[in-house]
Amino acid sequence: MRDLDLVKLHGHGNDFLVVLGEDEAFAESGPAIARQVCARHTGVGADGLILGARRGEDKLSFRLWNADGSEAETSGNGLRCLGHAALDAGWISEGNPITVETPAGLRDLTVRRSAAPAEVWGEVGMGPVKVRHSGGHDHPDDVPCNVAQGQLLVDVGNPHLVVLGPDPAGVDVAHLGPLLEASEPDRLNVEFVALGPGRDTLTMRVWERGVGETRSCGSGACAAAAAMRHWRRVGRAVTVVQPGGTVAVELRDDGTAALAGPSVRVAECRVRVELPGA
């Protein structure tokens, strides 16, 4: 057993527990700790556990375990929450661009304090966004979905399936999400997307692998925007409306994407965790 200091933050309801300053030995226990502390009824409760560390001047590292203990390559909301925690800890300066090492590669991050209490505004360079074709088609026939008007696989450093269809509010995400998540061996994040309500605006619900339905997803917003751009439905500056709130996505000429939105600090806590093999 050991005590662990955590900060709870969320990006539009996509919530994370952030631990700062632990060494790489901690990462060996990351999956088990995530399952303990992220449990909604027996732990603190969160969609994921983030480990942040300093890697030099203006440089951080990022690792994220989902609530089920599986590791995610990257997270747009999670990176903003890490930046928020690092800013509060005095590790980084407001408005100063930093580099974050993630399993998906290097990501750029800038955070600034907001007028709202406990809120920070973050801008993340999400890296390359790649549209993947399955058998040369945009709409794989072997993926079961009875609401799809189109489906597209998109890589944002982590894998996504974007499903174009009717108003996501009427989609049975709890039923379709697990089926679509399991349609590839590495599992997929799944975005149910409709065009509107305004120009260059999307409405989206998301099923995240290793978590379930979440209030928002930053990398998913980028994937949805890229898919809609591929289908020539939106321009390069896209607003993505999710149950938890609205984010801005910029699809850049170099094939990368940028994500902007808020993070909110919820609480600090100390928890006692049981380490594997202890």
- Residue 277 banded pLDDT, cuts 50, 70, 90: low
Using the predicted structure, report yes or no on whether residue 222 has a pLDDT greater than 80: yes
Domains contained in the chain, number: 2
> 13 burial class (0-12, 13-18, 19+ CB within 10 angstroms)?
middle
Contact in structure between 269 and 6 (CB atoms under 8 Å): yes
Q: What are phi and psi of 44, to 5 degrees?
A: -70, -40
* 278 falls within a domain: no
Pair (222, 171) in one structural domain: yes
Q: What is the pLDDT of residue 17?
A: 98
Q: Which of 56-70, 129-143, 175-189, 200-214 has the lowest mean pLDDT?
A: 129-143
Q: Give the mean model confidence (pLDDT) for residues 248-275.
A: 95
Pair (46, 98) in one structural domain: yes
Contact in structure between 206 and 182 (CB atoms under 8 Å): no
Instruction: Reduce the secondary structure of 220-257 to three states and give it as a string.
Output: HHHHHHHHHHHCCCCCCEEEEEECCEEEEEEECCCCEE
Pair (266, 202) in one structural domain: no
* 172 falls within a domain: yes
Pair (145, 169) in one structural domain: yes
Pair (114, 137) in one structural domain: no
> What CATH number is attached to the domain comprising 12?
3.10.310.10
Pair (118, 169) in one structural domain: no
| CB atoms inside a 10 Å sphere around CB 68 | 14
- Residue 145 banded pLDDT, cuts 50, 70, 90: low
What range does the domain containing 22 cover? 2-125+262-273
**Please, what is the average pLDDT of the chain?**
92
| CB atoms inside a 10 Å sphere around CB 47 | 28
* 142 falls within a domain: yes
Using the predicted structure, report yes or no on whether residue 148 has a pLDDT greater than 80: no
- Give 64-122 pLDDT, tens digit per residue: 999 999 999 999 999 999 999 999 999 999 999 999 999 999 999 999 999 998 999 99
Q: What is the pLDDT of residue 135?
A: 35
Pair (152, 108) in one structural domain: no
Pair (121, 7) in one structural domain: yes
- Residue 139 banded pLDDT, cuts 50, 70, 90: very low
Pair (151, 249) in one structural domain: yes
Pair (117, 145) in one structural domain: no
Q: What is the pTM of this model?
A: 0.93
Three-class DSSP category at 76: helix
Pair (68, 146) in one structural domain: no
Pair (120, 17) in one structural domain: yes
Q: Which of 11-15, 162-166, 235-239 has the lowest mean pLDDT?
A: 162-166
- Residue 26 banded pLDDT, cuts 50, 70, 90: confident
* 145 falls within a domain: yes
* 155 falls within a domain: yes
**By C-alpha distance, which of 77, 191, 188, 166 is closest to 126?**
77
- Percentage of residues of the chain with pLDDT beyond 70: 92
